[in-house]
Amino acid sequence: MRFKFLLKPGWLALTLAVWVFAGACVYLLSPWQFGRNDERQEQNSAITKSLKSEPAPFGAKHDEWQKVEIKGRYLPELEALARLRTVQGEAAFEVITPFETTTGHKILIDRGYVRPINGIKPPSFDAPPSGEVTLIGLARHNESNDQPAFEQDGRKQIYSINNNAVGPGIQPGYYQLIEDQPGALDTLPLPRIESGPFFSYALQWIAFGVMAVGGWLYFTIREARPGGVLYEGRKKKKSIAELLAEEGDDGADEAGAEAHDPGQLHRTRHVT
């Protein structure tokens, strides 16, 4: 039976590995990269729109990266530092200060970043202004980790910018200050408006999956032909071994023939 080799354990394992890999490429890895590309496109569109638009008044809900004008006062007693940050390739703390709006809402303001001392300790930095101020910030979504704040080096610190991590009674999300705002430190740079490599990565994963299946089909068809590639390979190896054996046998036969031919021996002695 020509296709009997498909049931061999080694071929079954190869088939399973190829199809699992191809399925992961097409149905998991490429959609993941397409999704990241869509997220980047949405982010770029939102940032571009925000930069061109006037600030919206503070409300209950804002789109991410929307420019918002906020009135109220800082609550420095609840201030926290977001640790383990990297800004422009160097370690940083982001300074997160709660803010109470004139409408009575408590929100988080990302005042910017400061560089750590000796790479680990928070430095001294300016406190936010007291009294009522008006500031403009970019609306941002909560980060995922809401692990509670802890005290270290005389500062409240958090791993993630999340209202639950800072304290109770604060609205989800936060507002990232733009330059020259009351209480702003070194403001965070905006993400680069570029598409990134995600779309090409998605196409590459699809190509890898197609190549894996194509290779499997190619070798399956070749093996299904009469004799089969694997069989032909074994046959060639066996033929070489047989040739070597035959050459050895021929040499032994010739030597034996000379040893049993008296005339040959006599002629050899006569010549000598």
Residues 77, 140 within the same domain: yes
Residues 64, 22 within the same domain: no
Would the pLDDT of 62 be above 80? yes
Q: What is the pLDDT of residue 269?
A: 47
Confidence tier at 46 by pLDDT (50, 70, 90): confident
Has residue 124 been placed in a domain?
yes
Confidence tier at 47 by pLDDT (50, 70, 90): confident
Has residue 188 been placed in a domain?
no
Lowest-confidence pick of 2-16, 120-134, 148-162, 239-253: 239-253
Has residue 112 been placed in a domain?
yes
Which residue range is the domain that position 140 belongs to? 55-177
Residues 17, 127 within the same domain: no
Q: What is the pLDDT of residue 193?
A: 73
| DSSP symbols for the chain | -GGGGGGSHHHHHHHHHHHHHHHHIIIIIHHHHHHHHHHHHHHHHHHHHHHHSPPEEP-S---TT-EEEEEEEE-GGG-EEEEEEEETTEEEEEEEEEEEETTS-EEEEEEEEEPPBTTTB----PPPPPS-EEEEEEEEPPPS--PPPEEETTEEEESS--HHHH-TT--SSEEEE-TT-TT--BPPPPPP----SHHHHHHHHHHHHHHHHHHHHHHHHHHHSTT-HHHHHHHHHHHHHHHHHHHHHHHHHHHHHHHT-HHHHHHHHHH-
Q: What is the pLDDT of residue 20?
A: 95
Distance CA 61, CA 48 (A): 19
Residues 47, 61 within the same domain: no
The 10s digit of each residue's pLDDT in 194-216 is 777 888 999 999 999 999 999 99
38-49 average pLDDT score: 82
Has residue 230 been placed in a domain?
yes
Provide the domain count of the chain. 2
152-174 average pLDDT score: 93
Q: What is the pLDDT of residue 248?
A: 59
Would the pLDDT of 268 be above 50? no
Has residue 189 been placed in a domain?
no
Residues 132, 238 within the same domain: no
Has residue 48 been placed in a domain?
yes
Residues 108, 14 within the same domain: no
Question: What is the share, in percent, of the chain residues with pLDDT greater than 90?
Answer: 57
